[in-house]
Amino acid sequence: MIDWYGTAGILVFYSIILGVGVWAGTKKKNNGEEEVMLAGRSIGRTVGILTLIATWAGGAYFTGIAESFFTTGLLWCQMPFGYSFNLAVGALLFAKPMREAGYITMLDPFQEKYGSRIGGLLFLPAFMGDILILAATLSALGVSLEVILDISNYWSVTISTMFAAAYTITGGLYSVTYTDVLQLMFMVFGLLLSFPFAINNVQYYPNDSPNSTSTSTIDWIGHVEPKDYVFWVEQMLILVFGGIVNQSFFQRILSLKPSLDAFNISLISATVCFLLAIPAASFGIVAKLVDWSKIPSWYSET
């Protein structure tokens, strides 16, 4: 059964996002590549920090952290550490030289050194990476809307994609940046708003249950089997270094005003990105305390 109040709230939210995206598009002075792709290199400090955070701290970030903490514990909850180090390493090694060279995309230095053919070849893995990241984000969004509103995952993803495409086409990076900020604020507000309800409605295991979840018996940390050591390290390295070769990161760095210190802005973003993992992990903590056999819609095999 569709939750009409929830549906109305989602429609209002989407309308606000679309409105802000269209409004931000009015800041675009022309259709030149720097204006469309880098917002004329005019993004200020506060917006720059928030949009860099939003590059990684999206739906997949928050839901993934909660799920990882719930299913496998802290040791396998790698995203907060990996993505934060990712922003820090990107700031340390690439922010300053890329900005000083006046590049527009992350592929420009390769094309400058090796020619347009190599640049075109390197575009293919970059393109595929963006497609896969987009798929993960839309999947997280679709699942969230499916649970909250009881509507089809297919329609959740389709409608969300149409809205995002509409404001992106309208205003380029201006629209993307300002909607990034707004969406991040909504997500953080939503996490803080919903947590008291989650913690106050936990269906705890009874004390005499063999599965009683006394906080002293819960495996909060998790463990890494010896056979998984290499896999764990590989996953962390992918998070730390794999995200650097992502146009979204460089697009935000290169769009900042020339007078701003991109290095410090990136480090601030890395710190805040890590701190935002705390409210998300809190939901994983709550989930570990729940007696899921009392939840009618819970299917342990899924």
Q: Give per-10-residue mean pLDDT for the chain (302 aa).
A: 74 84 80 79 87 84 87 88 88 84 88 89 87 79 74 79 81 85 88 84 54 60 87 90 82 82 85 90 84 63 48
- Return the pLDDT at 1: 60
- Return the pLDDT at 231: 92
Domain coordinates of the chain in residue numbers? 4-292
Please say whether the beta carbons of 37 and 173 come within 8 A.
Answer: yes
What architecture does CATH give domain 4-292? Up-down Bundle (1.20)
Instruction: Return the SS3 of 260.
Output: coil
Q: What is the pTM of this model?
A: 0.80
Q: What is the 8-class DSSP label of residue 58?
A: S
Of 207, 257, 262, 248, the closest CA to residue 88 belongs to 262
270: phi then psi, degrees, rounded to nearest 5: -65, -40
Q: Measure the CA–CA gap between 250 and 300, rounded to whole angstroms.
A: 41
- Return the pLDDT at 136: 76
- Return the pLDDT at 203: 59
Q: Measure the CA–CA gap between 223 and 284, rounded to whole angstroms.
A: 16
- Return the pLDDT at 297: 61
Please say whether the beta carbons of 150 and 3 come within 8 A.
Answer: yes
- Return the pLDDT at 295: 67
E strand or H helix that includes residue 187: helix 173-200
Please say whether the beta carbons of 211 and 291 come within 8 A.
Answer: yes
